[in-house]
Amino acid sequence: MVSPLTIGKHTVPYPLIQGGMGVRISAANLAGHVALCGGIGLIATAGLGLNSPHYDGKNFFTADPLALKDEIRKAYAIAPNGVIGTNCMVAVTNYDETVRASCEGGAKIIVSGAGLPLNLPALTADFPDVALVPIVSSIKAAELIAKKWHRGFNRLPDAVVVEDPDTAGGHLGEKMENIGSGDYDQYATVRGVKAYFRETWNLDIPVIAAGGIWDRADLLHALDEGADGVQMASRFVCTKECDASDAFKQMYLDCRQEDIGLVMSPAGLPGRAILKNFDKIRQRDLSLNVRCPSGCLKKCTYKTGQERFCIVHALDRAQRGDVETGLVFCGSNAWKANRISTVREIFDELFAVADAVRQTDVVNA
């Protein structure tokens, strides 16, 4: 029996968070429809301003929070009673402003990773009903966040996402050399984080498994191993509702397992992506002699020395359909995508909704 998921003051029928995918892969349409189906829909906040009417080519930091509030508003137009949240990356320059704009725009949950969100409670102090959910890959990181939050803000997380760096997509919270070593045990970490909060803080909060969750078997395995829910991202890319371009979705449909691998982001974090076009991403910036156009990251090797590539614009290009020179992030199971479906169809499969309805019909016949 699959139970509802409660994070802070917010409850959804199904224990599923749709993971944040930027730039603008999980925006209003995807997040809104996930919330409409009974999960938690997350809008990825990074770089939203680029493909918005607020951006004039120069005002990145002005456009970003305005575009975020637009997306939250549009998501609630789809799911007025749903739970809409945001994914906020610690690594971005305007992290503080993005968190505040999330709260002001009506986000009910903030999921935060790509660094440790040590000051998140301070930024949300005026919005006590907003649930705060850090992303970690280790028990140690969860302990550090909890101690910092409790000591500085008398606050503890409302849930924790445990991300598996061996399978998750996008930026990963682990050193490159440790990924794929076979040493990481995601569900031992899930159980360890749960035990830590119970034993140290007498707190029973949801711990969510992220990375590599694709189908109902993966979902049930996660729940059996002690997770209270799952975060899924890549599975939702090949849906009609996903905010990505058709060309972006086609990259998933066309990719093979061996096409997926690790890149080093200019943010200094490893990331998982489709590698078929990777050389062209770097070459495009070199050929055009692109300098840092937006200053989007706090630390960026492209900004300081033109190393690697400009990531926010590479992600933005891919979302719009330039998959020749755009970066396509994905999880390790993206190669399993074989058709365009709908968010509703995924929920029906994951939670056996259609089977349950059919069984009820038979009983009532």
User: Model confidence over 349-358: pLDDT tens digits?
Assistant: 999 875 444 3
Residue 55 and residue 79 in contact, taking contact as beta carbons nearer than 8 Å: no
* Range in 89-103, 106-120, 272-286 with the lowest mean pLDDT: 272-286
pLDDT of residue 187: 98
Side-chain-facing half-sphere of 210: CA atoms under 13 Å: 33
Dump pLDDT digits (tens) for 71-84: 999 999 999 999 99
pLDDT of residue 362: 38
Domain with CATH 3.20.20.70 in the chain: 10-244+337-359
Percentage of the chain lying above the pLDDT 70 cut: 97
Dump pLDDT digits (tens) for 149-184: 999 999 999 999 999 999 999 999 889 999 999 899
Q: If you average pLDDT over residues 235-247, what whole number do you get? A: 98
Q: Indicate if the pLDDT at residue 363 is higher than 70.
A: no
3-state class of 15 per DSSP? coil
pLDDT of residue 126: 97
Q: Indicate if the pLDDT at residue 284 is higher than 70.
A: yes
pLDDT of residue 290: 86
Residue 178 and residue 128 in contact, taking contact as beta carbons nearer than 8 Å: no
**Rounded Cα gap, residues 274 and 250, in angstroms:** 12
**Which CB contacts under 8 angstroms, 24+ apart, belong to 188-193?**
189/137, 189/138, 189/139, 189/162, 190/162, 190/222, 190/225, 190/226, 190/227, 191/225, 191/226, 192/139, 193/136, 193/139, 193/142, 193/160, 193/162
Dump pLDDT digits (tens) for 322-358: 999 999 999 999 999 999 999 999 999 999 875 444 3
- Three-state SS sequence of 59-88: CHHHHHHHHHHHHHHHHHHHCCCCEEEEEE
pLDDT of residue 235: 98
* Range in 41-45, 112-116, 308-312 with the lowest mean pLDDT: 308-312
pLDDT of residue 282: 86
Dump pLDDT digits (tens) for 176-213: 999 999 899 999 999 999 999 999 999 999 999 999 99
- Three-state SS sequence of 114-168: CCCCCCHHHHCCCCCCCEEEEEECCHHHHHHHHHHHHHHHCCCCCCEEEECCCCC
pLDDT of residue 153: 97
Q: Indicate if the pLDDT at residue 274 is higher than 70.
A: yes
pLDDT of residue 294: 87
More confident residue, 362 or 149: 149
* Range in 9-18, 35-44, 238-247, 350-359 with the lowest mean pLDDT: 350-359
The residue with tokens 């503080």 is 96
- Give the closest residue to 311 by CA, choosing from 275, 264, 277, 276: 264
- Give CATH superfamily name and number for 10-244+337-359: Aldolase class I (3.20.20.70)
Instruction: Kindly indicate the confidence band of residue 306, based on its pLDDT and cuts at 50, 70 and 90.
Output: confident
Residue 250 CB-density burial (10 A; 0-12 exposed, 13-18 middle, 19+ buried): middle
Q: If you average pLDDT over residues 310-318, what whole number do you get? A: 94
**Rounded Cα gap, residues 169 and 90, in angstroms:** 17
3-state class of 270 per DSSP? strand
Q: Give the N- to C-terminal CA distance of the chain in Å, as an integer.
A: 23
- pTM score, two decimals? 0.94
Averaged pLDDT score across all residues of the chain = 94
pLDDT of residue 261: 96
Q: Indicate if the pLDDT at residue 54 is higher than 60.
A: yes
pLDDT of residue 293: 84
